[in-house]
Amino acid sequence: MGNAVHRNLVKLYGYCFEDNMKALVYEYMENGSLDKILYENNHGSIELVKLYAIVIDTANGIKYLHHELEEQIIHHDIKAANVLLDKNNSAKITDFGLARIMNRDVSRVDLTGPRGTQGYTAPEAWMPGSQVTFKCDVYSFGMMLFEVLGKRKNGRAENWFPGLVWNQFENGNLEHFLKDCGIAEKDKENANILCKVALWCVQDNPNLRPSMENVALILNKKELVNDPPCPSLNFRQYSSMVDLEESRRENIER
């Protein structure tokens, strides 16, 4: 990990490994972690245009880990809490405690147990005896994008924000939905890109997920993003549940 140096990775300056003190010494990041900005009461102070730039920084950091080192690094815990912001709100990825280093001639690695954070972890990483690729980081990145869009945790059950985004996208109501989420007209293009990229990233099938190279190109508007298919059965079931609930409410109002 000491050889991984990139402007979007937190710098490791040193470590202490004494009997009474074990510590890693990282650079100081003045504005803390992204989750604090998204979830706490100061989240309204940062506009989507800046969040979009933070997303690009994060994508560039993951792309470096996956594609630009002699050995590939899978982070295994991409989430808002592990994206730190400096005094200019430039983003850097931290917390490599679960990272896995792979030789370039190895495309898949065996898992000895689940890694990552619930709600961000790719479905294949929860299967006993499964093998994973760098696409598990892509899935986690997609889940983080939903939280950036909603400026909130994704939630569960009826409050599951990714499923709600898919439902509105599938029914052609995404533009109105984004407006209800507080997305300004000037940010509409960026919000649409984030929605589609997120839906591609969280596909159940790892082969359908884009690489972080492709994600970075799309976010930088150097490539167009196509409409995604339904990511998984969970998204389909959630969408059906939302449709039934809306239909029930309309019948009551009548």
Residues forming the active site: 77
Q: Which residues pair with 84 in a beta bridge?
A: 33, 92
Assign 6 to helix, strand or coil: coil
**CA-closest candidate to residue 8, choices 50, 65, 48:** 65
DSSP per-residue string spanning 103-170: -TT---EE-SS--S-TTTS-GGGGSTT-EE-THHHHHHHHHHHHHHHHTS---SGGG-HHHHHHHHHH
For residue 212, how many C-alpha atoms fall within 13 Å in the half-sphere facing its CB? 29
Spatial distance between the Cα atoms of 177 and 181, rounded to a whole number of angstroms: 6
Q: Quickly tell me which residue has 């929605």 as its tokens.
A: 195
Q: What is the DSSP letter of 81?
A: G
Task: Give 43: exposed, middle or buried? Use CB within 10 Å, 0-12, 13-18, 19+.
Answer: middle
The one-letter amino acid at 46: I
**CA-closest candidate to residue 212, choices 94, 55, 91:** 55
Q: Which residues pair with 85 in a beta bridge?
A: 91
